[in-house]
Copies of this chain bind each other. A is one copy, B any other.
Amino acid sequence: MVETPVKVALLGCGVVGGATASGLLTNAAAFAARAGAPLEIQSIVTLDPESVTDPTIPRTLLTTDPHAAIQGADIVVELLGGIEPARTAILEALHNGASVVTANKALLAEHGPELYAAAKNAGVDLFFEAAVGGAIPILRPLRESLAGDRVTRVMGIVNGTTNFVLDEMATSGGSLSLDAAVAQAQELGYAEADPTADIDGFDAAAKAAILASLAFHTPVSLSDVAREGIRSITTDDVAWATTTHHTIKLLAIAERTEQGISARVHPALVPNEHPLATVHGAFNAVWVEADAAGPLMVYGQGAGGTPTSSAVLGDIVTAARNRILGGAAPVETQRADLPILPAEAAESQFQIRLMVEDRPGVLAQVSGVLADHGISIDSVRQSAACHDAAGSGASVKDAESVGSATTHLLIATHHASEQAFAATLAEVSAQEPVREIVSCIRVLSM
Contacts and interface: CB of A to CB of B under 8 A. Distances in A.
A301 B297 contact: no
A293 B278 contact: no
Contacts of A327: 322, 325-328
Contacts of A335: 33
A328 B290 CA distance: 26
Given A300-B297, A322-B327, A19 B292 contact: yes
Given A278-B278, A327-B325, A327-B328, A146 B310 contact: yes
Contacts of A322: 327
Q: How many copies does the complex hold?
A: 2
Interface stretch (A137-145, A208-216, A381-389, A413-421): A137-145
Interface stretch (A147-155, A339-347, A429-437): A147-155
A374 interface: no
A17 to B, nearest CB: 14
Contacts of A147: 34, 313-314, 317-318, 321
Interface string A273-301: 00100100000000000111111111111
Interface string A215-226: 000000000000
B137 A137 contact: yes
A267 to B, nearest CB: 22
A409 interface: no
A23 interface: yes
A262 interface: no
A299 B299 contact: yes
A311 interface: yes
Interface in A170-188: none
B296 A296 contact: no
Nearest to A129: B145
A116 interface: no
A280 to B, nearest CB: 9
A233 to B, nearest CB: 25
A314 B144 contact: yes
B148 A23 contact: yes
A326 B292 CA distance: 28
Contacts of A144: 140, 314, 318
B293 A301 contact: yes
Interface string A23-60: 10001001101101000000000000000000000000
Contacts of A293: 135, 300-301, 307, 310-311
Contacts of A278: 275, 278
B137 A141 contact: yes
Given A140-B140, A325-B328, A328-B327, A148 B317 contact: yes
Contacts of A31: 148
A310 B137 contact: no
A330 interface: yes
A47 to B, nearest CB: 25
26 contacts: A19-B292, A30-B150, A31-B148, A33-B336, A34-B148, A135-B296, A136-B296, A137-B137, A137-B140, A137-B146, A137-B298, A146-B310, A147-B314, A148-B312, A148-B313, A148-B317, A275-B299, A291-B310, A292-B307, A293-B300, A294-B307, A295-B300, A295-B301, A296-B300, A297-B300, A326-B327
Given A140-B145, A299-B299, 17 more contacts: A23-B148, A30-B150, A31-B148, A33-B333, A135-B290, A135-B296, A147-B317, A148-B313, A148-B315, A292-B313, A293-B310, A293-B311, A296-B298, A296-B299, A296-B300, A298-B298, A298-B299
